[in-house]
Amino acid sequence: MRRASSSTTNYSRRTVRDATLPIGERTMSTSSWTTASQPDTASSESLFFTSLNPLAPITIVLLHVGMSSHLEWSHTWPKLSEYHLLIPDLPQHSRSRHVKPFSFGLAADHIAQIIKENAHDGRAHMVGLSTGGFIAMEVIKRHPDVVASAFLSGATPLKDMWKSINSQPKLAFLGLSVLLHSPKGLLYKATGWAPEFQNEELLKEIKRNNTARLYETIARETGNWSRSDMVEVGKMDKRIALVAAGKQDNVEGMRDMGQLLESLGSNAGRDSRAFVVPDAIHAWNLQFPLLFARGVRAWIEKAPLPEAFEPLEKGIMLEASSSS
């Protein structure tokens, strides 16, 4: 597998801010974990991934949005420095563009192999956003033994407006292309990408990844994801958090899928839950990376999630911000 050490990242200095982090009933110093310097041992058939904090005992896999890259997590990974992190570029994206053609199944098989070969005890907690969330669920379906739990955002069967947009991928691709090559202010305003977390290198990668063929393939894979797929995921009995971004995601759909997963669980899966973060945009790891990391940490440690995570429980109608 192809690997990169964290020693080259421009964001390593951010870990100093949280020198001591409470984890459940224990306290761990981030300085306890060093990052191994790992050689590039890639084959032409393997995914690129970055491995951070390899001496930390619990492994998390972070899966990015479609058309993006592992750099999407640059502001989140320093906030999770007490964990071993595996952060790949998905097939046909950035440094994994040689692995193709893209599909959820191909991505899931590669991610599972990375976990088997690199995660502690061959298991990892899955964190995925949008396309990354669907792929995490595909891993659960195909390779349940490598998954400890999952924290997923913006990944449910499409409905209403998003289904209509997804059915016209060429038009949607054109719209994204116009935004990517418009004055930066327009792109950032349209996406809600927080100014302090804007990353020119990531933006370049998104532009490179944004091809009509890849966009249409991701749109097709997403459009084909159905309730029956969610049922298959639920039958794997994994503890899963489904999180809706209140400003752009399908909140009611997330509520329904959370209840479905909970109902299908017989053990760990019975603790699956759905939440909404009302002020969040779809790619909110680029809007509230600290909050995102706190949510991941709390879910993994089975602690209460931050107050910003409002539970979407049956019979409880919570108002989520809709458009602005």
Does 121 or 33 have the greater pLDDT score? 121
218 in any annotated domain? no
Domain at 124, CATH number: 3.40.50.1820
User: Domain count of the chain?
Assistant: 1
Confidence label for 190 from pLDDT (cuts 50, 70 and 90): low
Domain boundaries, position 138: 2-8+15-158+225-311
The CA-CA-CA angle for residues 200, 203, 208, to 5°, reads: 130
214 in any annotated domain? no
110 in any annotated domain? yes
Average pLDDT, rounded, for the chain: 82
- Per the CB < 8 A criterion, the answer to whether 62 and 77 are in contact is yes
pLDDT beyond 60 at 13: no
318 in any annotated domain? no
262 in any annotated domain? yes
pLDDT beyond 90 at 225: yes
Cα–Cα distance, 150 to 155 (Å, whole number): 12
Per DSSP, 19 falls in state: S
58 in any annotated domain? yes
> Across residues 137-165, what is the average pLDDT?
88
197 in any annotated domain? no
> Across residues 119-144, what is the average pLDDT?
98
219 in any annotated domain? no
Burial of 114 (0-12, 13-18, 19+ CB in 10 A): buried
For 1, 27, 196, 302, 303, the CA distances from 24, given in Å and listed in that order, are 33, 8, 30, 8, 7
Confidence label for 142 from pLDDT (cuts 50, 70 and 90): very high
> Across residues 91-101, what is the average pLDDT?
96
Which residue is listed with tokens 């990376």?
289
Residue 135: closest CA among 90, 176, 75:
90
What's this model's pTM, rounded to 2 decimal places? 0.81
Alpha helices of 84-183 — where are they, by DSSP H?
104-118, 131-142, 160-166, 169-180
